[in-house]
Structure 1
Amino acid sequence: MSSTRMLRLALAPAVCGLFCCAALAQDSSQVLTGQDAFTNYQKEKPGVTRKLTVADLPKPYATQGVDNGAPMVQRPDGAMPIAPDGFKVSLYYTGLNQPRLIRKAPNGDLFVALSYENKVMVFRGVGPDGKPKEVSTFADNLNLPFGIAFYPAAHPKWVYIGNTDGVIRFPYKSGDLKASGPSQQLAELPGGGKLRGGGHWTRDIAFSKDGKKMLVSVGSHSNVDDSDTHPEEFHRADVLEFTPSGKFTKIYASGIRNCVGEAVNQITGQLWCSTNERDMLGDNLVPDYITHVEEGGFYGWPWYYMGGNQDPRHDGKHPELKDKVLTPDVLLQPHFASLEMVFDDSSQFPAEWKGDAFAAEHGSWNKAQRAGYEVIRVPMKDGKATGEYQDFLTGFTTDDGHVWGRPVGVAFADDGSLFVTDDGSGSIWHVEHTK
């Protein structure tokens, strides 16, 4: 372990207690652009802002695709996520088996999907010790659950859960810590897949602002298989529209390789997606992205990317689609593995951040110099993205390139503080603004 890392860990308990302020935070007014905007874990520090554009992207195969999965290690003693100056980070709960998506119920309870245990848990409140006041299993015997949604929004009667092969719902009244009745199967989805390298299994759920549409994200079955000739790609790499009762309506948007996290912007009413793009075109292709999703929009997968850039593995195919490909709002680092996103509608974080998006970046597996393993802030203005993103919560890696934490889910509590699930250390982190 480097001397810098040892010093940081040695000082952490004395300087930070249960929190760690980012002495490494940088001037957020500086925006890194062009080639300077590309990053790796060593350059990710709270307060660093980047803006990537399509013009910054290299040609395909400028570098070789690699398999560089992160060696996971136990969280070193004293190691904590690092937030910007003025924020406090504390350990809310640990000992979980890979906690994934987290969503706040209207009454303030936090629902967390433990996908590999096939259950959804509830965490209630924060006690004087910083830990939850109550913990309960809401439902189990599920099938790789991920997405969680409450319906109707204000006074929900149902908790919807996105299993890998379908959407189900449980009866619910405010304050329930356990499902009060059996589940109802609402919609079938193409199911299964593997976490890494394609075959996406996560399914998220969001309701339109008017409550009339249930929008379900389904990732691709592969990295870049031609969906013309691979029937297993049917209704995949899409956002599907259903009625709240589960009747399929249409493909809401297509060509989105893996819209892992969905969120509805309450200012504009638009659906947004946090998206994993394709791999093996090189270190800096293809960028993951966060974008609003146009109804009827086509985002390119598998034939094109970032507008009309054709994937060389499908050279010459579907020229009629080239001019129809939408370019995402915010280009992130390639291979970031962008997962859940949420909009800040609170009054605790800085006032100028209100309405901004926050997203969990799970971290790369096929980038020569690893990137991700952080939570980012996506600045917004009147509900529209500026195209920039800023490192917000880092420190989940060691100086020698090992990884102890991998952010997955983000949710704002009623008091405006942020909760982050981390399936690397099996923890939930609590981030509060203190000034």
Structure 2
Amino acid sequence: MSTLKKFLIALGLLVIAVAAFLAWAIRGPAGQYTTDETSGPHPKMAEPSPQTIPGVGIAKPIGWQAGEAPVAAQGLVVTRFADGLDHPRTLAVLPNGDVLTAETNAPAGDHGGGGLTGLVAGFLFSQAGAGEPSPNKIVVLRDTGSGKASQRFVMENPALDSPFGMVWREGRLYVANHNGVVSWPFQPGQTTLPGKPEKLMDLPPAGMHWARNLALSPDGQRLYISVGSGSNIAENGIDAEAQRAAIFEYDFDKHRVRQFAGGMRNPNGMDFNPYTGELWAVVNERDMLGPDLVPDYLTNVPLGAQYGWPWVYWKKYIDWRVNEPMPEYLMEYVRKPEYGLGAHVAPLGLAFARGGNTMGDRFAGGAFIARHGSWNRRPLAGYDVVFVRFDSHGNVLPAPPAPVLTGFLTKDNKAHGRPTWVAFAKDGALLVSDDVGGVIWRVTAPGAKPAPAITQIADTPLPPKPPMGKIRIQENPDSVLNKPQP
């Protein structure tokens, strides 16, 4: 048999094997629980069903035709703030009202790992509209009063390398590349990004989760940086996960960085609860335990918090697939997340409702979350923007997430777009980035008055310790301890 014939036979067998795998994956087991059932403070937990390769549920991207739009909740209206963008992800609103959006994607060659799993992941990302090279641009969108971006300016710089999180502070624009946080001198109204940036800190590059987000504390003195894991469950070894799966805090006064919280597989959107001042985040949980595990979540993030990844999920469930030894006593201090958002919904953007927003009374107290949508579940989950309600004390309520924007999926499971980020425009409207559709959507409640400001609950200091009296030590001559022993 000739070498060419052997090669063609081997190639044919490989094609048949790949086709058989894809047929199995696409027809893999369907979820038994609804997304609402795996949501809330106490989501249902299915029995784990470990997979060597994840099941596949791809929503083929088809974009939006002229005049098409997502479906807004009753009482809300959605319009196009900007379109024709190249994979817009994050949003940052400057003090003058300009909106920055990062046109970005994964670093070149990064498809979430090596081997067969990495090969399959790369194929799936490309099918879901996330396989293109990163544009590495920041676009300034300017609304001159019409409710849409009538002006746009594209800012490019060689130092932009899969940019994601953006914040403005004291005349500088801070940008989180996949491999570090950099900053430029920048004033609101500026439309270029010239010169070489100053590096604030290095970050572990790329990996399965390459997107690094930024959040500035309300007093502007601390910067929070989210870094996702480099793998699903540390299958490349725990040493490869150093400085990953965590949120870090940079102190501008002390020029010091520390890990703020850990054990979070892929923390992304971050914002501060206006009632309590606490940092909150949305987190993408692990894959390949079946279509109903593990629920992604929204949670507060206290200093020193530990959420268990890769060994534990939802405080008490051990992931027996992890080969690395679990640290001693880990389960004694793992925290339970505050609120499940559904299995495999991929929450990304997070923004709390604040004073001045024009979303109406129904959406006055709580958090808006963009659920980017599943790629490994049947039926598909996410692909929407939801609202999680909080009470007036800043506590999340035990109600299912309320829909804000839906209609990103067609009836035959094709994707017009995928909601990615949420932020409030200066006029109080909610902005939603749609990376696959290339659109920034604007949502508002017509006729709604700007919401009143939320007053943060005052901290109650502990009472001072009472003064201690004098302690007098006196020998007891009758004590057996003072008698000689025989």
TM-score class, shorter? 0.7 to 0.9
Amino acid at match of 2:418: R
Contact 1:171/1:180 (CA < 8 Å) preserved in 2?
A: no
Contact 1:37/1:51 (CA < 8 Å) preserved in 2?
A: no
2-structure distance, mates of 1:36, 1:342: 30
2-structure distance, mates of 1:99, 1:369: 26
**1:343-384 deviations in Å (ceiling 9; x for gaps):** 111341123533421111110011121011111111112322
Do structure 1's residue 237 and structure 2's residue 255 form an aligned pair? no
1:408 alignment partner, one of 413, 420, 423: 420
Q: CA deviation at 1:231?
A: 2.2
Q: Helix, strand or coil: the match of 1:322?
A: helix
**1:182-205 deviations in Å (ceiling 9; x for gaps):** 421110000113xxxxx1010111
* Partner of residue 377, structure 1: 387
* Partner of residue 260, structure 2: 252
**1:104-152 deviations in Å (ceiling 9; x for gaps):** 1122111101112111111111554x5313211244320000000111x
Contact 2:41/2:338 (CA < 8 Å) preserved in 1?
A: no
Contact 2:429/2:442 (CA < 8 Å) preserved in 1?
A: yes
Q: Which runs of 5+ in 2 are unaligned?
A: 1-30, 105-133, 448-486
Q: Helix, strand or coil: the match of 2:218?
A: coil
Q: Which moved more, 1:176-185 or 1:339-348?
A: 176-185
**1:313-341 deviations in Å (ceiling 9; x for gaps):** 13873451112111111101111110011
Q: Which runs of 5+ in 1 are unaligned?
A: 1-34, 40-47, 194-198
Contact 2:38/2:340 (CA < 8 Å) preserved in 1?
A: no
2:47 alignment partner, one of 49, 59, 69: 59
* Partner of residue 80, structure 1: 69
Amino acid at match of 1:267: Y
Do structure 1's residue 124 and structure 2's residue 142 form an aligned pair? yes
TM-score (norm 1): 0.82
Q: Percent identity?
A: 35
1-structure distance, mates of 2:305, 2:358: 35
1-structure distance, mates of 2:139, 2:253: 24
Contact 2:38/2:45 (CA < 8 Å) preserved in 1?
A: no
In the TM superposition, 1:18-167 aligns within 5 A as 38-39=34-35, 51-54=39-42, 56-61=44-49, 65-76=54-65, 78-115=67-104, 116-128=134-146, 130-141=147-158, 142-151=160-169, 156-167=170-181
In the TM superposition, 1:300-339 aligns within 5 A as 300-314=308-322, 317-318=326-327, 320-339=329-348
* Partner of residue 353, structure 1: 363
Do structure 1's residue 434 and structure 2's residue 446 form an aligned pair? yes
Contact 1:341/1:360 (CA < 8 Å) preserved in 2?
A: yes
Q: Which moved more, 1:350-359 or 1:158-167?
A: 350-359
TM-score (norm 2): 0.74
Amino acid at match of 1:379: R
2-structure distance, mates of 1:138, 1:270: 33
Q: Helix, strand or coil: the match of 2:174?
A: strand
Q: Which moved more, 1:200-209 or 1:70-79?
A: 70-79
Q: Which moved more, 1:52-61 or 1:424-433?
A: 52-61
Q: Which moved more, 1:160-169 or 1:316-325?
A: 316-325
2-structure distance, mates of 1:113, 1:310: 37
**Residues matched between the structures, number:** 382
Q: CA deviation at 1:210?
A: 2.7
Amino acid at match of 2:280: W
Cα 1:62–1:313, aligned 2, differ >3 Å: closer, same or farther?
closer
